[in-house]
């Protein structure tokens, strides 16, 4: 059989397993390219050739995992974020495109990496950044790469995720500038950063039955669920950030569907902070809050 025929068969199996048709085709191709080591250009050129001898059994093992609704990044072990390839395992949340909005807003708040923004001029303190609940380390690593002279602290509550994040920092050459701390939110962090970023757990635990199997059954619950209303983590993060941020500093945080008003109310209860912006994601859903500590 050709590679193309095997991929078409995998796509049909994925659809029968409940995966959307447009996603099923993409997943079948990505898994095939992972086995073959081909980029997309070669796949499109050579897919009608007979499959290499060892392809079919190796591909079948991956297809069977996806058929059980295991997310593709956990099968391939990688996920792209901000143009960088990150290792992912079931110990960490899979980085998603909407989380890149945090980076876009961070760059707007801090400016380009020169002068004070990069901690660069002689005699000035370096820029300090904290990534709360770093998971794979995607935000911490991307920020460290963008601000070459910044000092980044990345906190994580699960030690198993810590190893993954450290490997990703080394993978992208920033291991010497990102310090990983195993703690809950900002507990024990002794710094006054100019920027705190976070993609905290914000899905209500009561919503678990309605989630896709990929999220409900495979992603780490500690990184997904934020209590009965989804706001437990956000409450704790806002309270800690208010006393941790440097005056004039920024907190940029992701939140869930329908939580915009609740987030605005939580910020309004903190006298030292103000909500300056709510950013919508690619589907027009309010997704990212930009909060500033009053100078």
Burial label for 57, CB within 10 Å (0-12, 13-18, 19+), is exposed
Has residue 107 been placed in a domain? yes
92 and 13 within one domain: no
Strand partners, 273: 293
The pLDDT, as a whole number, for residue 138 is 98
Number of domains observed in the structure of the chain: 2
Has residue 73 been placed in a domain? no
39 and 13 within one domain: yes
278 and 240 within one domain: yes
Q: What is the pLDDT of residues 233-289, one digit of tens each?
A: 999 999 999 999 999 999 999 999 999 999 999 999 999 999 999 999 999 999 999
User: What is the residue-averaged pLDDT of the chain?
Assistant: 95
90 and 21 within one domain: no
pLDDT above 90 for 202 = yes
End-to-end CA distance of the chain: 67
283 and 159 within one domain: yes
CA distance 185 to 200: 9
Residue 201's pLDDT band (cuts 50, 70, 90): very high
Instruction: Please report, for the domain that includes residue 164, its CATH number.
Output: 3.40.50.150
Has residue 267 been placed in a domain? yes
Has residue 228 been placed in a domain? yes
pLDDT above 80 for 121 = no
Q: What is the pLDDT of residues 146-185, one digit of tens each?
A: 999 999 999 999 889 999 999 999 999 999 999 999 999 9
217 and 104 within one domain: yes
Last residue of a domain, one of 68, 89, 118: 68
173 and 193 within one domain: yes
Has residue 74 been placed in a domain? no
Domain that holds residue 42: 3-68
206 and 142 within one domain: yes
Last residue of a domain, one of 42, 68, 94: 68
Pairing of the two strands 84-87 and 78-81: antiparallel
From residue 24, how far is each of 13, 16, 64, 72 by CA, in Å? 9, 10, 13, 11
Q: What is the pLDDT of residues 86-116, one digit of tens each?
A: 999 999 999 999 999 999 999 999 998 764 4
85 and 7 within one domain: no
CA distance 173 to 137: 13
120 and 207 within one domain: yes
């Amino acid at each position: 059989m050709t590679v193309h025929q095997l991929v078409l068969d995998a796509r049909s199996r994925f659809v029968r397993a409940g995966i959307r048709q447009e996603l099923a085709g993409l997943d079948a191709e990505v898994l095939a390219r992972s086995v073959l080591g081909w980029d997309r250009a070669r796949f499109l050129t050579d897919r009608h050739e007979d499959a290499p001898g060892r392809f079919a059994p190796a591909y079948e093992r991956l297809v069977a995992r996806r058929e059980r609704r295991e997310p593709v990044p956990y099968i391939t072990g990688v996920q792209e974020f901000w143009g960088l390839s990150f290792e992912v395992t079931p110990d960490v949340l899979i980085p998603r495109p909407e989380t890149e909005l945090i980076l876009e807003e961070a760059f707007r708040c801090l400016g380009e990496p020169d002068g004070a923004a990069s901690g660069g001029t002689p005699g000035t303190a370096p820029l300090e950044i904290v990534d709360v609940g770093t998971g794979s380390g995607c935000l911490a690593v991307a920020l460290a790469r963008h601000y070459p002279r910044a000092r980044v602290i990345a906190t994580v509550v699960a030690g198993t995720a810590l190893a993954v994040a450290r490997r990703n920092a080394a993978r992208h050459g920033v291991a010497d500038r990102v310090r990983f701390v195993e703690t809950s939110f900002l507990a024990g962090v002794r710094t006054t950063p100019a920027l705190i970023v976070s993609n905290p757990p914000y899905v209500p635990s009561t919503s678990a039955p309605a989630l896709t199997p990929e999220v409900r059954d495979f992603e780490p619950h500690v990184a997904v669920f934020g209590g009965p209303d989804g706001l437990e983590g956000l409450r704790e993060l806002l309270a800690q950030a208010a006393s941790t941020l440097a005056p004039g500093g920024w907190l940029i945080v992701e939140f869930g569907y329908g939580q915009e008003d609740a987030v605005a109310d939580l910020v309004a209860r903190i006298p030292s902070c103000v909500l300056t912006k709510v950013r919508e994601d690619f589907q027009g859903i309010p997704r990212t809050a930009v909060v500033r500590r009053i100078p």
